[in-house]
Structure 1
Amino acid sequence: MSEPTKSAPRRYRMTVDHVDPMSVLRLSFLLSVAFGIATIVAVALMWGVLNGMHVFSGIENIIGQVDASGKMAAVAEYLQFSKVVSMAAIISVINVILMTVISTICALLYNVLVKLVGGISVHLIDE
């Protein structure tokens, strides 16, 4: 039996000349929400690790020794779990909004620039 001949790999050249802003909006929103959830979980885990290592109680002891008047005691209040996770959630919500808006604006700018200079050329090979 003879061995079948292999055909030459097919080559494709494509140009990305338009990006749908609504698709970019949806995708960037979902990705930024996932990133925000991951941020909140990472902050909660990091706080748990640091609390397990007694870092926060050490900070409170140092503040108590340095500040006899108690004016810096308010700093220790910001190290509570609920406040740290709340701040992470607020930052994540702001990040979701900013990432979604910026990526959509970038898609619109890409569409304008494509009209001026062309798109991104992609070469694909099917082996």
Structure 2
Amino acid sequence: MSESQTGRAGAPRTGNRPQAGRPVQRPSQRTAPARAGQRQGLVRPAPKAKTRKARLVVSRLDPWSVLKLAFLLSVALGIVAVVASIVLWVVLDLTGIFDRVNTLLGDIGGSSVSSFDIRQIASMRQVVSFTTILSLVNIVLITALSMLAAVLYNICASLVGGVGVTLTDD
């Protein structure tokens, strides 16, 4: 035999290569013998992970951070209020509610109120101006009161220890 058909020391090779004339067969699957009381083929479920918990105490709020956050949120609230007032005025105008109110007030008041027009009192410009002024006042009040609340929270937290929060990992 040549060296390609034999191993290093002249012994015949017993690798994965099939011999000529024999069909290729799959290697047999060997399974470990079953232990007593254990079924073959069942998979053991993974153990459940323990839920991690962290207990934290909010002992201090930075008044400057509270001021900035409250200012930004109150500005956003003011913008929402102005846009909502514009949308509401347009919807009331397009659905004819202003005309119905004018007719109702004319019927109730008689001839003295027949020339009354609610659009003169509540025009879009006046409604938006009023909402903008109210939003600016709200911005100042919300910002000042939230900073005052943060300072009061810090004083109370120094006396009683703050608010406890438990965070869990689901």
Q: TM-score range by the shorter chain?
A: 0.7 to 0.9
- CA shift digits 1:62-103 (9 cap, x unpaired): 445526456x94865221110011101111111111111111
Identity across matched positions, percent: 37
Bigger mean CA deviation after superposition, 105-114 or 73-82:
73-82
Question: Runs of 5+ in structure 2 lacking a partner?
Answer: 1-42
- 2:102–2:117 Cα contact (<8 Å) kept: no
Bigger mean CA deviation after superposition, 5-14 or 29-38:
5-14
1:60 equivalent to 2:95? Answer no
- 1:39–1:88 Cα contact (<8 Å) kept: yes
How far residue 108 of structure 1 moved from its aligned partner, in angstroms, is 0.3
In 2, Cα distance between the equivalents of 1:21 and 1:2? 54
What's the TM-score once normalised by structure 1's chain length? 0.84
The alpha-carbon distance between structure 1 residues 59 and 7, as it changes in their structure 2 partners (threshold 3 A), is: closer
In 1, Cα distance between the equivalents of 2:99 and 2:51? 65
The residue number in structure 2 matching 1:120 is 163
Cα RMSD, aligned residues only: 2.4
The one-letter code matched in structure 2 to 1:60 is: N
Q: Figure out how many residues of one structure are paired with residues of the other and give that number.
A: 126
- CA shift digits 1:23-82 (9 cap, x unpaired): 000000000100110011001000000001112233334445526456x94865221110
How far residue 10 of structure 1 moved from its aligned partner, in angstroms, is 2.1
What's the TM-score once normalised by structure 2's chain length? 0.65
The residue number in structure 2 matching 1:91 is 134
The residue number in structure 2 matching 1:10 is 52
The alpha-carbon distance between structure 1 residues 64 and 115, as it changes in their structure 2 partners (threshold 3 A), is: same
In 1, Cα distance between the equivalents of 2:60 and 2:112? 64
**Matched ranges for 1:30-45 at <5 A:** 30-45=72-87
The alpha-carbon distance between structure 1 residues 2 and 98, as it changes in their structure 2 partners (threshold 3 A), is: same
Determine which structure has more spread, i.e. the larger CA radius of gyration.
2
- CA shift digits 1:94-127 (9 cap, x unpaired): 1111111111100000000011111000111234
Higher relative CO (Cα under 8 Å, sequence separation at least 6) belongs to 1
